[in-house]
Amino acid sequence: MARYALGLDYGTNSVRAILVDTANGKEVATSVWGYAHGHEGVILAKDPNLARQHPADYVKGAETTIRKVLATAKRRLKGFSAEQVIGIGVDTTGSSPLPVDRNGRPLAFDKQFARDPAAMAWLWKDHTSVEEAVEITALAAKTRPQYLAKCSGTYSSEWFFSKILHCRRTSPKVFDAAHTWVEIADWIPAMLTGTEAPEKLIACVCAAGHKAMYNDAWGGYPDARFLSKLDPELGKLRARLKDKAYAIDTAVGRLTAAWAKRTGLPVSIPVAAGAFDAHLGAVGAGIAPGTLAKIIGTSSCDMMVVRNNRKLPDIPGLCGIVDGSILPGYFGLEAGQSAVGDIFNWFVNYIQPGGKSAGSHQALTRAAAKLQPGESGLLALDWNHGNRTILVDQKLTGLLLGQTLYTTGAEIYRALIEASAFGALTIFNRFEEYGVKVRQVVNCGGIAEKNPLVMQIYADVTGRPMKISRSAQTCALGAAMAGAVVAGRKAGGHATFAAAQKAMCGLKPKVYKSNAAAGKVYKDLYALYSQLHDAFGTVAWKGNLHNVMKKLLDIRSRARK
């Protein structure tokens, strides 16, 4: 009899549940629910940097999608019974910390805070905490450089402590009411298993390690003295964060009777520790040593793993190197581009070359595909949303060069695709410069699935075959695999992630192979891209252009005041 694992994938705008056959990875049913609060699930405010989420949507989302996915399975599969579901895994966005009370209950569930954005989940893309990030980075650089060495040298405004410190300063009522703060990647598994209480709560090493400077080498989270220097109250919070965080092979508990009733799932099936979407996406894409899993969406995440018994240097520019953050027993290496699909979407939606119909992705891709590499004379930098890897600089912006009086929209569109490929190659090169060999690239996400031109250009620019994950939902698949592993082999799951990947992951038959003639042109173009990249992106560069984009942003800020 078939066994199924359930993957819950909490995205920015919606949550998805899938039910996967543990024997072969077949995704037998899926359901999606758009969050009810805010604008497409995101609570916005006058401050364009603010982005929050109401935790009530996490509860409603689990209930709605699980009931629906089970109903779909019953309709589709002869003889299906919910009893065949053996485990649950969860992936979420992050860092998305949530203030909770002494019982682990979100403050936003209290009437007095129900409409206060500060009491909700601070969504990954909330950028209100820029000043606090600068402060944390400066203090760590001075007194705890080791904290920064594993996370790209800069503590981000998107991360755990920046957001908490900003809340302390701007919403003291919420801060005072909060007993502690929990990543939603931890809170959702805890909710399903009744382990929300801070003394029971299990934190995942993915969030702790990548976003909260957690490392076993220094006893887990940053020490209380360090945090106290930022704010004494932050120092006090340290005692409420546990010293140990866990990988996805850990079950945080078992599904409660209440949640079993609410969803129709069997009571007591295990729920795995959570992880971020890109990390479980990498698992679902079949990540292994030498395999770079490239998750391409609005931005990209370029994930690798290295056995944790190997000596690995700090790799500058990576968003993090965390033991166990992707697969247990491996360092998880995260890199990425701040914008990929978002740049193409910008050109189509904000510039609308030729108007709405002529300027669709389809039309532009068709026209761009007819061009030869180098034919447009254009070169772009893929920095419209800053540069995550390898420059780690949000204050960078886009650049387009080479326009004549005859440059077309399709030529620009292709230049933007090429720029994103050059950005990807820069990441591959950074891994290899530090001894992490990229032997295979597996892409996933909508663009990888739907745009052959993008994949072909990636192959031509990087000189590597581009493979595509078989699953269109690798994050949810990875989550389900975690559910299968915590369920274990005897229950019909898997003993290890290696076994789970062997059974449940796969590639599409189509592989995009690099073309030698195109590669030759792109080699020349990449040399020019690198020149611009270093000129505008690095302080060390002798030409002193590094400040141009930053000064423009300063002028812009003043103009908008």
342, 393, 418, 460: which one binds a second copy (CB under 8 A): 342
**DSSP conformation class of 288:** B
The interface region with a second copy, picked from 64-72, 254-262, 278-286, 393-401 by CB under 8 A, is 393-401
Contact (Cβ atoms closer than 8 angstroms) between residue 147 and residue 213: yes
Task: Identify the bridge partners of residue 19 per DSSP, sorted by sequence position.
Answer: 6, 29
- Tell me the closest approach of the beta carbon of residue 298 to a second copy, in angstroms: 9
Cβ atoms of 35 and 41 within 8 Å: the answer is yes
Which phi and psi angles does 275 have, rounded to 5°?
-160, 170
Residues 6 or more apart from 304 whose CB is under 8 A from it? 287, 289, 291, 292, 293, 333, 335, 431, 436, 438
Task: Please select the residue that binds a second copy; options are 103, 142, 217, 406, rule is CB under 8 A.
Answer: 406
Q: Cβ neighbours of residue 384 under 8 Å, at least 6 residues apart?
A: 339, 342, 343, 346, 397, 398
**Contact present, 471 and 64 (Cβ < 8 Å):** no
The answer to whether 428 touches 437, Cβ cutoff 8 Å, is: no
| Number of residues this chain uses to bind a second copy (CB under 8 A) | 60
Q: Which residue's CB is nearer to a second copy, number 79 or number 406?
A: 406
Q: What is the residue type of 275?
A: A
Is residue 83 a contact residue for a second copy (CB under 8 A)?
A: no
Residue 397 interacts with a second copy (CB under 8 A)? yes
Q: How far is the CB of 320 from a second copy (least distance, A)?
A: 24
Task: By CB under 8 A, tell whether 552 contacts a second copy.
Answer: yes
Are the beta carbons of 4 and 476 closer than 8 angstroms? no
- Which position among 356, 366, 439, 510 is part of the footprint of a second copy (CB under 8 A)? 356
Q: Shortest Cβ distance from residue 406 to a second copy (Å)?
A: 6
The piece of 4-12, 59-67, 203-211, 391-399 that touches a second copy (CB under 8 A) is 391-399
- Tokens encoding 23: 């024997």
Query: CB-based contacts of 135: which residues, under 8 Å, 6+ apart?
Result: 165, 230
Least Å distance, CB 402 to a second copy, is 5
Q: Which of 145, 290, 377, 435 binds a second copy (CB under 8 A)?
A: 377
Does position 372 bind a second copy by CB under 8 A?
yes
> What part of residues 245-284 is at the interface with a second copy (CB under 8 A)?
none
When asked if residue 553 is in the footprint of a second copy (CB under 8 A), the reply is yes
* Site for a second copy contains 376 (CB under 8 A): yes
Q: Considering only residues 45, 351, 498, 511, which one is a binding residue for a second copy as defined by CB under 8 A?
A: 351
Q: From CA 321, how far away is CA 279, in angstroms rounded? A: 12
Contact flag: residue 544 with a second copy (CB under 8 A):
yes
Q: How far is CA 110 from CA 10, 61, 101, 102, in A?
A: 23, 19, 10, 13
Give residues in contact with a second copy (CB under 8 A). 339, 342-343, 345-346, 350-356, 358-359, 372-379, 384-385, 397-409, 412, 521, 524-525, 528, 531-532, 535, 541-545, 548-549, 551-553, 555-556, 558-560
